[in-house]
Amino acid sequence: MSRLLEQGEVFFFYRSKVNQAEIAGLDDVQRFYLILVPDHQGLARLFVVGKKHLPDIIRDRPVAATREWVMNTLTERPDKVGEALRPIVYQTETRGEQHEGEAIPAGIGRYALFERKGSTRLGYRLTQPETPGPAQKALGILPESSLVISVRNPDVEVPGFPDDKPAYPQSLQDKFAHKRWINVDDPRLLNYEHAQLLLVGAHASLEQADIDLTGKPDLYQTLGVSHGEWQEEPMVEGEFAHPLCKAEPKAMEVPAPARVAQIFAGIGFPASGLELKEYARKRANEREMRVIKQFGDQPYKDMSDVAKELGRISAAQ
């Protein structure tokens, strides 16, 4: 018997590499996103899938080798998450104007977070596309699936996982004790940016889950976007599609100084602009990276140089 913890809408998106006009396969994909929008909570969680592929299902049972990490990069109102998926235009000193196309939906459905046989599971069922195609196959998206889901203790180092740490309140941090991983018995564990999860392939069907995935997902209403803003080919035909990339430069919110100091904590100065961007890539959320990508490539002696660069970016908007 399964115990339901949460259910809601699930969306799968991918974003192509910078200035990539055509998408032929996974090599042309920059990031793969998993979005969970729990019912009646007014929030959405944006996760980046570490290896751009959901874990495989082998022999229809959990296998440790079929695992992938995902990390929360943004928890916000659903329409704010929708904004984070829009196309981006930004300037660099060496390469000029760069275009990052809109993230493209590759799957829509309903999900449930539930407990079963001593573990927590993330189960989903697609409503679109009706028949998964090459795009879904490349990303590991099945018509329906059940994945064992665990959350990482931010105080315990795990090789191969990002160094970022979520700012859990003490009441949630205490759940970990000295364990490296725990079940997601409290869905609030998923709400914090930089929360890291481990997904293990379990079942290619929800038949044994005894969970009723009710409700109908609505990508456009939930994320606050219109049909014309997104490529629909992956959801209809199951094929990869290139971004429409109808981006226009617009003002961006510059992170607060305290947050910038947190992002770059531990980096060794002096550092180049490229080194700052690479360091921030696993520590900053989507909106923060939009700003950091505009850093010039000159050397930075210390955090005061970083602050000056943020001031330049803010003044130029």
Residue 208 lies in a domain: yes
133: containing domain: 3-236
Q: What is the pLDDT of residue 135?
A: 95
pTM of the model: 0.77
Q: What is the pLDDT of residue 33?
A: 97
Task: Examine the pLDDT at 100 and tell me if it is beyond 80.
Answer: no
Please provide the size of the chain in residues.
317
pLDDT tens across 273-303, in order? 999 998 988 788 877 888 898 898 899 999 9
* Burial of 10 (C-beta count, 10 Å sphere; 0-12/13-18/19+): buried
Q: What is the pLDDT of residue 247?
A: 45
Q: What is the pLDDT of residue 79?
A: 94
Q: What is the pLDDT of residue 66?
A: 60
Of 194, 198, 185, which Cα lies nearest the Cα of 6?
A: 185
Q: What is the mean pLDDT of residues 176-180?
A: 92
Q: pLDDT exceeding 70 applies to what percent of the chain?
A: 90
Of 49-58, 170-179, 252-261, minimum mean pLDDT range = 252-261
Total domains in the fold of the chain = 2
Task: Examine the pLDDT at 170 and tell me if it is beyond 50.
Answer: yes
Q: What is the pLDDT of residue 162?
A: 82
CB atoms within 10 A of CB 156: 12
Task: Examine the pLDDT at 163 and tell me if it is beyond 60.
Answer: yes
Q: What is the distance between the alpha carbons of residues 30 and 27, in angstroms, rounded to a whole number?
A: 8
Of 12, 45, 3, which Cα lies nearest the Cα of 31?
A: 12
Instruction: Note whether 66 and 99 are same-domain residues.
Output: yes
Instruction: Note whether 133 and 224 are same-domain residues.
Output: yes
Q: What is the pLDDT of residue 59?
A: 64
Q: Best-predicted range by mean pLDDT among 111-115, 240-244, 279-283?
A: 111-115
Q: What is the DSSP letter of 228?
A: G
Task: Examine the pLDDT at 99 and tell me if it is beyond 70.
Answer: no
Q: What is the pLDDT of residue 19?
A: 67
Instruction: Note whether 163 and 20 are same-domain residues.
Output: yes
Task: Examine the pLDDT at 91 and tell me if it is beyond 80.
Answer: no
Of 133 and 229, the structure prediction assigns the larger pLDDT to: 133
Residue 248 lies in a domain: no
Q: What is the distance between the alpha carbons of residues 198 and 178, in angstroms, rounded to a whole number?
A: 17
Angle, CA 27 vertex, CA 22 and CA 31 arms, to 5°: 90
170, two tokens: 């003490």
Instruction: Note whether 311 and 191 are same-domain residues.
Output: no
Q: Which of 236, 270, 287 marks a domain boundary? A: 236
8 Å CB contact between 155 and 176: yes
pLDDT tens across 192-227, in order? 999 999 999 888 888 878 888 888 999 999 999 887
Residue 252 lies in a domain: no
Q: What is the distance between the alpha carbons of residues 275 and 282, in angstroms, rounded to a whole number?
A: 12
In this structure, the strands spanning 67-76 and 196-203 are antiparallel
Query: Containing H/E element for 46?
Result: strand 44-49
Q: What is the distance between the alpha carbons of residues 38 and 215, in angstroms, rounded to a whole number?
A: 12
Q: What is the pLDDT of residue 249?
A: 45
Task: Examine the pLDDT at 180 and tell me if it is beyond 90.
Answer: yes
8 Å CB contact between 29 and 14: yes
Mean pLDDT over each residue of the chain, to the nearest integer: 87
Q: What is the pLDDT of residue 312?
A: 87
Q: Which amino acid is at 38?
A: P
Instruction: Note whether 108 and 190 are same-domain residues.
Output: yes
